[in-house]
Amino acid sequence: MDKIISIFESHRYTHREMVVLMGGGHTIGFAHCKEFESRLFGPKPDPSVHPRLAERLKGMCANSSSDPAISAFLDPISAGNFDNMIFKNLLNGLGVLGTDQAMASDPRTRPFVEEYARDSVVFFRDFARAMEKTSVYRVKTGSQGEIRRRCDAFNNLPTGTK
């Protein structure tokens, strides 16, 4: 957690804002197996992974070396819903990513994980505020930036054709 906390602090985010952005950002979406398989396979599997989740992910990712598109939902309980379930999952060892799971064990971040697991109203409020803060942080204007038509791609990438 030290490195992640340091990165967020360098951008003037509090521990609370870091937890709400990371957890909230991962309440919907997925990760490819390569992003978390080191927690499952190898000589020293991560003991913080709940055994049932570990078995499920191992089964899903067994063929990921031949198919790198294989992935798992970051919130295995309420995938597709924007809610506070990911924080409840983290408290039960159901974090798919090690960085997410670490928030539930680090004393600097666990109180926020617990609070958001308990109170979805506080989670929604804090997430909205942190996203507002993010939306105005180091905004590029004029020719330095662009408003993307699709969030996952730049608008005008050179293609090599005319």
The annotated binding site for Ca(2+) is made up of 27, 75, 83
CA distance linking residue 79 with residue 56, whole number of Å: 15
> Which residue numbers belong to the known binding site?
26-27, 75, 83
Q: What is the DSSP string of 69-114?
A: T-EEESSSSSTT--SSHHHHHHHTT--SSHHHHHHHHSTTTHHHHH
Q: What's the one-letter identity of residue 146? A: E
> Which residue numbers belong to the known binding site for heme b?
26
Q: What's the one-letter identity of residue 9? A: E
Q: Are 105 and 48 in contact (CB under 8 A)?
A: yes
